[in-house]
Structure 1
Amino acid sequence: MIGVVQRVSEASVTINGAVEGKIGTGIMLLLGIEEADTQEDIEWLSRKIVNLRIFNDDDGVMNRSLAEVGGDILLISQFTLHASTKKGNRPSYIKAARPDVAIPLYEKMIARLQADLQREIETGEFGADMKVALVNDGPVTIIIDTKNKA
């Protein structure tokens, strides 16, 4: 499972012309799910994201977590995070999980993030054509791969 964490001052997702999810200060999370992902990956990544100290303290040092600043999460599924560009110019998405595997894991990730954050999160729609807008604060962008925990 790959998560691209972006600290934002605002973010939104629009589907078919309607805003479906919107946050202010928080994290916009792009989530790529692969066939080998498990509940363990979900739990580890969720804890990591909620507790990642990427928000400024009173001295301007990134020392506060999402939970500490009361920030929100906008979660967007993105299979293209598992693109392989080793051969040719057309990416291969063979490593990305098929919908029958990915959708249940995506839904479990939503539930886990909500439990860890102790409130609802905003989401896009799995498999939809989404228009994502954000103001990356910092900019701060961190890529986390659950297969590289050690």
Structure 2
Amino acid sequence: MRVVLQRVSKASVTVDGAVVGEIGAGLLLLVGIGQEDEEKDLAWMADKVAGLRIFEDGDGKMNLSVEDVGGAVLSVSQFTLYGDCRKGRRPNFMAAARPEQASDLYDRFNALLRAKGLTVATGTFGAMMEVSLVNDGPVTLILDSPA
């Protein structure tokens, strides 16, 4: 499982001209599901995202998590995170999970985040989406599950 995480002051996702997910301060997650991903990867990633200390405390140090600051999460599925560009000029997406598997795992990942008490907005799985954000910092991290 691969997540590109961005600390944002606001973010939204639009499908066919309509906003389908929107948050204020919190985290934008671009979520890629790999062929080998399973429940343990989802749980690991949900724990990592919820507890990652990347928000500033009163002393200006990155010492608080999205849970600590009461931030929200905008989770957007993005299979292209598994694009392999090492050979040729066209990405190979063979490592990405098939849509039916990825959709189920993506939904379960978002449910795990909600179970932690986080407000989670989402895009529309498989749709062509436009993502808008104001990156706060900027802070952008790439997270890969241990498997």
Q: TM-score with structure 1 length normalisation?
A: 0.96
The equivalent residue for 2:132 is 133
Q: Give the SS at the match of 1:11.
A: strand
After TM superposition, which residue ranges in structure 1, 4 or more long, deviate above 4 angstroms?
none
The equivalent residue for 2:74 is 74
Q: Which amino acid aligns with 2:74?
A: L
The equivalent residue for 1:61 is 61
Distance 1:82 1:147 in 2: 15
Shift of 1:126: 0.5
The equivalent residue for 1:105 is 105
Q: Which amino acid aligns with 2:125?
A: F
Deviation readout 1:51-88 (Å, 9 max, x if unpaired): 00000001111100000000000000000000001111
Q: Give the SS at the match of 1:14.
A: strand
Shift of 1:119: 4.0
RMSD of aligned residue pairs (Cα, Å) = 0.9
Shift of 1:33: 0.3
The equivalent residue for 2:8 is 8
Q: Which amino acid aligns with 2:136?
A: D
The equivalent residue for 1:96 is 96
Shift of 1:120: 3.4
The equivalent residue for 2:25 is 25
Q: Which amino acid aligns with 1:42?
A: L
**For 1:42-53, what aligned pairs fall within 5 Å after superposition?**
42-53=42-53
Percent identity reads 51
The equivalent residue for 1:115 is 115
Distance 2:119 2:6 in 1: 18
Q: Which runs of 5+ in 1 are unaligned?
A: none
Q: Which amino acid aligns with 2:87?
A: K
Q: Which amino acid aligns with 1:34?
A: G
